[in-house]
Amino acid sequence: MQRQNLPPCPHCGGVEVYRHGKSKQRRIRYKCGYCKKTFCNRTGTIRINSHISDKQWKDSIRLFSLRGGISGADLSDFLGLERKAGQRINRKLRRQMARLPEPKLNGIVETDETTMTHKWVWGAVSRGTGEVVLKKVHKRNEDTLLPLITRYTEKDTHVFSDEWMGYLNLWNHRFHMTVNHSKSFVSEFSNQIHTNRQEGVWGLIKPFAIHTYRGIPKKKLNEYLKEFMFRYNLKDYNHRVKALISYCSSNFHTDWY
Ligand SMILES: [Zn+2]
């Protein structure tokens, strides 16, 4: 056993870590001198217990990061694996979306609600940064909407919405302007007051749910909203790939991409 300059043990954080032969899958194995547990470079990541090679994981991450996403079935076809394997990879990657930092919107923010899979979805998008927040909500009443807006926008934000009564008391918290959607989609007072950007977000996410994923399960709606936010908020493809790689790596495998 040879002492090396290695990162701490993923089990206990101990710093006395040694090389310890190879694992069953022929991966380099390490052993912790403190807790005596062994591990490899996949321990503590979503790639543990996966028979899929590093190359296939890299390809999956690249395809998942594409602007339009990829269905599990298409991913399986691309990798030459059975159908369920692609779905499993997609699901594992989608769960990493929970680790994304939640944006705090500022400047001019448009807000609106819609229904997806028979559930209400609230959305807000910043015209400045172009970041979006999407949340599944049970009702679209004031008690639901106001806390969401105050949580996800800065104090000096200008919020534009339609005249839905859930926003009636928003002026207490934020600078608030409305557009009467029964009359026109742009306010008669200023052509800047509209929610067309948020409408555009709905126009992107709905075909994505229907065509790429051929319908999404009701219970998984929140996960899919997060996945959409990942692609919309991280504008650059390489940025998305890099983020996913870091979520899927351990300290022992930071340079696998
Ligand atoms: Zn340990």
* CA of 72 relative to ligand 1 center, distance in Å: 36
Ligand 1 centroid–CA 24 distance in Å is 20
Which pLDDT value is given to residue 207? 86
**Number of residues written out for the chain:** 257
Dihedral angle at the C-alpha atoms of 48, 235, 66, 118, nearest 10 degrees?
90
CATH number at residue 145: 3.30.420.10
Residue 117 lies in a domain: yes
Indicate the pTM of the whole model.
0.87
Ligand 1 center to 35 CA (angstroms): 4
Cα of 8 from ligand 1 centre, angstroms: 8
Residue 202 within a domain? yes
- Taking the chain (257 residues) in runs of 10, the rounded mean pLDDT of each run is 74 90 88 92 86 90 92 94 93 91 93 93 94 94 94 94 91 91 82 91 89 83 93 94 90 74
Give me the domain span that covers residue 170: 108-216
> Does any domain span residue 232?
no
Distance 22 CA to ligand 1 centre (A): 18
Which pLDDT does position 251 carry in this prediction?
A: 82
Backbone Cα Rg of the chain: 23
Among 35, 32, 96, smallest CA distance to 64 is for 96
Runs of H (alpha helix) within the chain: 54-64, 72-79, 83-95, 142-152, 196-207, 221-233, 237-247
pLDDT of the residue at 210: 83
* Ligand 1 centroid – CA 23 distance (Å): 17
State in Å: Cα 14 to ligand 1 middle. Answer: 5
Ligand 1 centroid to Cα of residue 85, in Å, is 31
Predicted local confidence at residue 196, as pLDDT:
92
In a domain? residue 144: yes
Apex CA 150: angle with CA 148 and CA 155, to 5°? 155
pLDDT at residue 217, rounded to an integer: 85
Could you give the number of structural domains in the chain?
1
Q: Compute, in angstroms, the gap from residue 231 CA to the centroid of ligand 1.
A: 36
Supply the pLDDT for residue 112: 95
- Asked if residue 102 belongs to a domain, the reply is no
Residue 244 in domain: no
Ligand 1 centroid – CA 47 distance (Å)? 20
Domain-located, residue 164: yes
- For residue 201, is it within any domain? yes
